[in-house]
């Protein structure tokens, strides 16, 4: 290669790129061959390298101290130094390896306090929760017993209302001239029973009053049937339930009857019978 060509080669800037690591492997190889053949090229590269190196030295930035520690740890070379030095100084070495951890040790300490505080809070919270829970249970028990009381009172009140309604109706009908009250008395089947029937003289309607009756208890399959005796023949006026009926109405309207000489109640199977079961004749009374 001629001197001119060599000069042009050097001035092309390729050697700078070579030093900056900015060439492809093939290009770099060419530069290396050139450098091996031409001392001028080699010298130029050395000068560029020195400039870059000096430039880097003047641009130096100190990294933080723990990078070295981390590096030596990573390469497993942390303990190398004490062996190498003539006077082993373990305290210094120890100190040196401790420093980077100071920051994290502080964090760990804070975290430890935080942990203790958390555990304490947890214990307090758990205790508070248990106390609250038992109080809540007490409250539930109280609510349950109060509910029971309330139901009991509600039952009493509705019973009282029911009786009051029946009694006031009875009193009103007794006063009224329109209504005839027929007292029925116990029959051999049930001597202690008694009952009243109200018969309206005008419209001939018939009422029974649950409050004004004392009949033997019936079972699930039986109920009471009211009869009117018309010229010696029983005429059904309908059935009615037990006297402890939960119905709110004390008065029950039965079928009307134009004329009757007597009224009677028998116990019949549910739904009533066509003819009265005479041996279950409970009460009877004449008009």
Partner 1 sequence: MTAFKKLTLTEPELVQQLQSKDPAVLKTLYSMYSSAIYGVISRIITHTELAEDVLQETFVKIWQSAAHYDNTKGRLFTWMMNIARNLSIDKLRSKDFKNSLKNQDIENNVSFVDEQNKVTFNPDVLGVKQLVDNLKPDLQAVLDLVYYKGFTHVEAAEKLDLPLGTVKTRIRLAIIELRRNFN
* Interface with partner 1 (CB under 8 A): 11-17, 19-22, 32, 35-36, 45-64, 67-68, 70-72, 74-75, 77, 80-81, 84
Q: Which is nearer to partner 1, 44 or 268 (CB)?
A: 44
At its nearest, how many Å lie between partner 1 and the CB of residue 121?
28
Q: Which is nearer to partner 1, 45 or 182 (CB)?
A: 45
At its nearest, how many Å lie between partner 1 and the CB of residue 55?
5
First-last CA distance in the chain: 156
The answer to whether 204 touches 215, Cβ cutoff 8 Å, is no
At its nearest, how many Å lie between partner 1 and the CB of residue 99?
16
At its nearest, how many Å lie between partner 1 and the CB of residue 38?
14
At its nearest, how many Å lie between partner 1 and the CB of residue 92?
14
At its nearest, how many Å lie between partner 1 and the CB of residue 3?
18
Three-class SS of residue 165?
helix
Provide the β-strand partners of residue 263.
Answer: 228, 285
Q: Which is nearer to partner 1, 55 or 244 (CB)?
A: 55
Both tokens of 279, joined, read: 């041996």
DSSP assignment of 186-246: E-TTSTT-EEEEEEETTT--EEEEEEEEE-----TTEEEEEEEEETTEEEEEEEE--TT--
Which of 268, 286, 269 has its CA nearest to residue 278?
A: 268
Both tokens of 103, joined, read: 């920051």
Q: Which is nearer to partner 1, 19 or 281 (CB)?
A: 19
| Overall residue count recorded for the chain in this entry | 287
The answer to whether 201 touches 179, Cβ cutoff 8 Å, is yes
Q: Which is nearer to partner 1, 15 or 260 (CB)?
A: 15
Q: Which is nearer to partner 1, 3 or 57 (CB)?
A: 57
- Residue 259's contacts (CB-CB under 8 Å, 6 or more residues apart) are 230
Q: Which is nearer to partner 1, 84 or 87 (CB)?
A: 84
Both tokens of 135, joined, read: 């109080």
At its nearest, how many Å lie between partner 1 and the CB of residue 108?
20
């Amino acid at each position: 290669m001629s001197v001119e060509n060599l000069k042009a080669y050097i001035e092309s800037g390729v050697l700078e790129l070579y030093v900056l690591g900015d060439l492809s492997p093939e290009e770099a190889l060419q530069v290396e061959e050139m450098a091996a053949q031409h001392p001028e090229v080699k010298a130029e590269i050395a000068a560029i390298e020195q400039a870059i190196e000096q430039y880097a030295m003047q641009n130096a930035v100190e990294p933080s101290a723990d990078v070295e520690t981390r590096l030596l740890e990573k390469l497993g070379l942390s303990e190398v130094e004490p062996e190498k030095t003539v006077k082993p100084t373990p305290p210094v070495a120890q100190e040196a390896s401790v420093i980077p951890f100071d920051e994290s040790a502080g964090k760990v300490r804070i975290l430890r306090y935080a942990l203790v505080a958390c555990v304490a809070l947890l214990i307090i919270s758990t205790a508070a929760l248990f106390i609250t829970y038992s109080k809540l249970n007490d409250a539930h028990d109280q609510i349950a017993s109060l509910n029971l009381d309330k139901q009991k009172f509600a039952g009493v009140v509705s019973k009282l209302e029911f009786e009051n309604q029946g009694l006031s109706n009875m009193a009103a009908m007794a006063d009224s001239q329109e209504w005839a009250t027929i007292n029925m008395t116990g029959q051999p089947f049930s001597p202690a029973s008694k009952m009243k029937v109200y018969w309206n003289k005008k419209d001939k309607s018939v009422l029974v009053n649950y409050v004004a009756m004392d009949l033997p208890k019936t079972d699930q399959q039986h109920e009471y049937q009211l009869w009117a005796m018309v010229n010696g023949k029983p005429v059904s006026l309908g059935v009615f339930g037990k006297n402890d009926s939960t119905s709110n109405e004390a008065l029950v309207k039965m079928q009307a009857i134009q004329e009757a000489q007597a009224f009677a109640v028998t116990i019949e199977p549910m739904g009533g019978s066509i003819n009265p079961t005479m041996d279950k004749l409970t009460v009877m009374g004449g008009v």
